[in-house]
Amino acid sequence: MDTHLVTFQPQNRTVKVRDGESLLRAAMEAGVHINASCGGEGVCGKCRVIIEAGEVEGGLSERLKPEDREKGYRLACRASVIGDVTVRVPVESVVDASVLNIPPTPRKTARVKTFDLDELKEKGLFIPPMEKVYLTLPEPNAQDHLPDVTRLVSFLTLKNHEHRLGVEFPVIRKLPDILRREGFQVTATLARPVREDGQTVIINVQPGDTTSENYAVAVDIGTTTVYVQLIDLVSGNVLAEEADFNGQISYGEDVISRIMFAEKGDGLIRLHDVVTETINKLIRKNVKRAGIDPDGISSVTLAGNTTMTQLFLQVDPRYIRRSPYVPAASIYPPIKAKDLDLDLPDHVTALVYPQVSSYVGGDIVAGVMGSGLYRTEELTLFMDIGTNAEIVVGNRDWLACAACSAGPAFEGGGIEFGMRAAKGAIEDFSIDPVTFEPMNLTIGNVRPKGICGSGLINIVAALFEAGVVNPNGKYERNLPTDRVREREGIWEYVLVRQADTQIDRDIVLTEIDIENLIRAKGAIYSGCQTLLEEVGLSMQDLDRIYLAGGFGSYVDLARAMVIGLLPEMDADKITYIGNASLMGARMSALTNRIRRDVVEVTRKMTNFELSETPSYMDHYVASLFLPHTDLELFPRLKARLDLRRSAGR
């Protein structure tokens, strides 16, 4: 079969591909990331590229305007390579991961809860699952013929008061040489059991005293992003942290599209490989940054939603999306990291967070554990907002949970100029109530190229309060400004004019964009209402809200309440906990106690399938307005709107 050279600019990367291969696949092979929100189905229109030299076949979608086609734009997922070609990836199509490694700025309107290592130590819970013990053993002689393994086990039993001690077979293989390398001075790595009456297992031995070199890796496998921390198990401190976009995003924006991809041919293997490549890359970066010997790593703890977990473990996820929505397992045994294709030493043990249901996974369980929700007396609502929104309500006595599909709007999907949080994304916005002129603030303070999720919330909230958008999400047609206009039968507001953007056209917010946001926020708010109603409570009964997830860390509370994403309550009752999944993964690496508690917690969590709960659809329909059909649920906003109407008269 003929092959062709495809060169991507401005990355200056060239790759050889087969005749007929799509440009999107070619970009993957070249390591060039292109924003492909729909996974290559040709429906999102985000993988726009420019053909600078050569020709391609196809890629001319109705998603492209006539003027774009004349400029050489094509959709990468629909354009086939038929000869050597040079492709330019425009700035709006590039996936920029740099912002993932910038910590969010804490909001003044809410407190931020971080990992409390001191509390863990004060309560005597700093007991990592992996312990290192240094021993000086007597050397064998004519009177002492104990086998090497018996010698090691006997003295470990005496020193650590272990009643049950096992040895993994690879340790037996290397023990004779290791013992004699440093004159029978050896460090053993012990894996503690989950149950107090369980067996402690020797998983590694090293010559000499290496007790100061005991590390763990904590991993959050998100649908969009992957975060990895390298942790010192001696001090409990994080030595390095890195994040990147999940390599699976090129195969679908959400879990359903990835499950569908996994069902095709070698799709499951491919999705496992690309997320593992992402994790391994981040581990290598952390190891290099911290300057440690990777042989000192003892464990890796991983948390992810049910689909991400099964894809990573290479477990067929097809039944997750089919009624009655059953996952393969709720609890996973310890697994050797090498068996999961992780680039870690052979002895490293992988500990995977358990899950509750098909759509309430290990990331949420990790968040419940890491946030301390399962230990508090306060009635708490836990929300992890993303493409899929998971909700938990309860306290130390009981827990109920549910999941709802919010759609990709908060990640920039389904929004004409939507994008993930990256430099050039509009993240904050205000509007002059007289002239209706905008003020846009972007990530990185550079010229705009799109709108991120938090910016979308801020824009719609400001437009609504200014009277530019009505409760139905429609623009007022008779305002004295040319910012509100009709284009090809669709009404829109011009946020940034072409000359002030990084791209070659105006950046606008359309009524279709607003409708997609309203659907997303409606799904989340109605999910909370339904779950509370099912346990006999209401929004007014809540003592606290925990807001989790990378997106949640950037949400402006007041504006989230204006659009009806969050219930209206005092800001001091809302706590940001950031990446709760990563927090829980780190905690699991630092305290064996949590591994015992987590089994009880998962059994305690009652799952509600919202799609099978009759009242959910009623609440959802009522939420498809700004902020809601029942303004009495938002009394402060109602008072402001009444005041505005009075001033208008």
Burial of 195 (0-12, 13-18, 19+ CB in 10 A): exposed
CATH fold match for the domains 3-94 and 130-207:
yes
Distance of CA 557 to the CA centre of its chain: 20
Contact between 389 and 403 under an 8 Å Cβ cutoff? The reply is yes
Main-chain dihedrals φ then ψ at residue 262, nearest 5 degrees? -65, -25
Q: Which CATH number describes the domain made up of 3-94? A: 3.10.20.30
Contact between 245 and 97 under an 8 Å Cβ cutoff? The reply is yes
Helices 580-590 & 592-604, crossing angle to 10 degrees? 130
pLDDT at residue 109, rounded to an integer: 43
Residue in this structure with the two tokens 């996820």, named with its chain if needed = 317
In sign, the C-alpha dihedral spanning 256, 259, 260, 261 is positive
Report the run of H or E that residue 239 belongs to, with start and end: strand 238-245
Helices 580-590 & 362-371, crossing angle to 10 degrees? 70
In whole angstroms, what is the distance from residue 74 CA to residue 158 CA? 71
Instruction: Give the list of residues 6+ apart from residue 436 with CB closer than 8 angstroms, or none.
Output: 466, 468, 479, 480, 481, 483, 484
Q: What is the mean pLDDT of each run of 10 residues along the chain (649 residues)?
A: 88 88 81 63 76 89 81 88 91 63 46 77 90 93 91 87 84 95 95 84 96 97 93 96 91 87 94 97 97 96 96 96 89 95 96 92 93 93 85 95 84 86 86 84 85 92 93 95 94 92 92 96 95 94 88 78 92 87 94 88 91 91 96 90 71
pLDDT at residue 551, rounded to an integer: 65
Contact between 471 and 412 under an 8 Å Cβ cutoff? The reply is no
Q: Say yes or no: domain 130-207 is CATH 3.40.50.20.
A: no
For the 215-352 domain, the top CATH level (class) is alpha beta
3-state helix, strand, coil in the chain (%, to 5): 35, 25, 40
In whole angstroms, what is the distance from residue 533 CA to residue 530 CA? 5
CA dihedral 578, 343, 120, 163 (to 10 degrees): 150
User: Angle CA(450)–CA(454)–CA(456) in degrees, nearest 5?
Assistant: 55
CA dihedral 127, 130, 133, 138 (to 10 degrees): 140
pLDDT at residue 277, rounded to an integer: 96
pLDDT at residue 648, rounded to an integer: 59
User: Angle CA(150)–CA(156)–CA(157) in degrees, nearest 5?
Assistant: 85
Strands 484-487 and 335-336: unpaired
pLDDT at residue 95, rounded to an integer: 61
491 CB neighbour count, 10 Å cutoff = 18
In whole angstroms, what is the distance from residue 405 CA to residue 391 CA? 11
Beta bridge partners of 442: 426
What are the boundaries of each domain within the chain?
3-94, 130-207, 215-352, 365-649
pLDDT at residue 438, rounded to an integer: 85
